[in-house]
A and B are shown apart, each in its own frame.
Chain A
Amino acid sequence: NAGVTQTPKFQVLKTGQSMTLQCAQDMNHNSMYWYRQDPGMGLRLIYYSASEGTTDKGEVPNGYNVSRLNKREFSLRLESAAPSQTSVYFCASSPGTVNTEAFFGQGTRLTVV
């Protein structure tokens, strides 16, 4: 049972480059989330999708876009990477359309130079 799978695990980008972080879950969950984790700041929500076909901004959406491709997949795109986007990114999913326990992927460590 894979749970939540993120790719890639590590990535180094140059300032201005673009990339897409991929996330897929095999638990038939309705809601999916993208968080970033920075030292001393806790997890901060970038975007979420409460159900297939919907996406909404979280606490720190600037510089990011998302696509809920289908019920399983939720991708995060950085159009023009900046050093401030250096972080660890986590995708998560939860079964309901309101907050229930979330299941997290292993994370993507992104460095923007």
Chain B
Amino acid sequence: EDQVTQSPEALRLQEGESSSLNCSYTVSGLRGLFWYRQDPGKGPEFLFTLYSAGEEKEKERLKATLTKKESFLHITAPKPEDSATYLCAVDNYGQNFVFGPGTRLSVLP
């Protein structure tokens, strides 16, 4: 059974304290891996798509990387407005995505 896990479940950082979130996947095939941000009470918002091992994408303080078994979302010098739940999802050549449970990030001023 295809599975996506994320760690840690929750992360508290001080403003400016860089860290990484992990998304590990066990799937029969990988067409693409997606990162989303979700604010409380709102729907997920698309951040990045990664298609092959070694690929990297950047947006402001966020950088996503992909290996054959996992993806990392690196957050450099985070600000309080980066606080959110970060979701990863895998396209396993099926008709839909397999989502992970998310990492809840809190950045304290």
Chain B, residue nearest A40 (CB): B101
Q: Tell me how far the C-beta of B86 lies from the nearest C-beta in chain A, rounded to whole angstroms.
A: 12
| Given A42-B4, A45-B96: A90 in contact with B43 (beta carbons within 8 A) | yes
Q: Tell me how far the C-beta of A21 lies from the nearest C-beta in chain B, rounded to whole angstroms.
A: 13
User: Does A102 sit at the interface, judged by CB under 8 A?
Assistant: yes
Q: Tell me how far the C-beta of A111 lies from the nearest C-beta in chain B, rounded to whole angstroms.
A: 15
In the complex the two chains form, what is the Cα distance from A107 to B46 in whole Å?
Answer: 15
Q: Which of A4, A44, A56 contacts B99 (CB 8 A)?
A: A44
A107 touches B41 (CB 8 A): yes
Q: Tell me how far the C-beta of B34 lies from the nearest C-beta in chain A, rounded to whole angstroms.
A: 6
User: Does B49 sit at the interface, judged by CB under 8 A?
Assistant: yes
User: Does B59 sit at the interface, judged by CB under 8 A?
Assistant: no
| Given A99-B91, A101-B34: A45 in contact with B42 (beta carbons within 8 A) | no
A106 touches B43 (CB 8 A): yes
Chain B, residue nearest A105 (CB): B43
User: For B44, what are the chain A residues with a Cβ–Cβ distance below 8 Å?
Assistant: 43, 90, 102, 104
User: Does A48 sit at the interface, judged by CB under 8 A?
Assistant: yes
Residue total for B at the interface (Cβ-Cβ under 8 A) = 21
User: Does A76 sit at the interface, judged by CB under 8 A?
Assistant: no
Q: Which of B42, B49, B87, B91 contacts A43 (CB 8 A)?
A: B87
B91 touches A101 (CB 8 A): no
User: Does A33 sit at the interface, judged by CB under 8 A?
Assistant: yes
User: Does B68 sit at the interface, judged by CB under 8 A?
Assistant: no
User: Does A81 sit at the interface, judged by CB under 8 A?
Assistant: no
User: For A35, what are the chain B residues with a Cβ–Cβ distance below 8 Å?
Assistant: 99
In the complex the two chains form, what is the Cα distance from A43 to B95 in whole Å?
Answer: 15
From 17 to 61 in chain B, residues with beta carbon under 8 angstroms from any chain A beta carbon are 31-32, 34, 41-46, 49
In the complex the two chains form, what is the Cα distance from A101 to B44 in whole Å?
Answer: 11
Chain A, residue nearest B102 (CB): A42
B residues with CB within 8 A of A: 4, 31-32, 34, 41-46, 49, 87, 89, 91, 95-97, 99-102
